[in-house]
Amino acid sequence: MQAVFYSQARNNLRTLIDKVCNDFDEYIITTKDNKSAVLISYDEYSAMKETMYLLSSKNNRDRLLDAVDQIESLKFQSKNIDL
């Protein structure tokens, strides 16, 4: 993650947007009074929000973590779904 000052971000906004969208870069943008924000792509933001939603329920979180453990330990069954 790179840090830039607000004035630099303002002057290069199009370039920063292209970098976060195309290269998945992230930028911390800081003002002169030390307030900060993060610039990320909309796709990355959406994925983070979805992950937070899926993990917000204890039951759902436990099921997802159990599924990850099963996959990592190769203790899962593969099933074909006919459409």
Domain spans of the chain, in order of start: 2-40, 43-72
Structure tokens at 52: 């937070």
* pLDDT tens by residue, 20-77: 999 999 999 999 999 999 999 999 999 999 999 988 999 999 999 998 999 999 887 8
Determine the pLDDT at residue 6. 95
For the cut 90, the answer to whether the pLDDT of residue 83 exceeds it is no
Determine the pLDDT at residue 35. 96
Q: Please give the CATH superfamily to which domain 2-40 belongs.
A: YefM-like domain (3.40.1620.10)
How many Å apart are CA 17 and CA 26, to the nearest integer? 10
Please give the model's pTM, rounded to 2 decimal places. Answer: 0.70
Determine the pLDDT at residue 27. 97
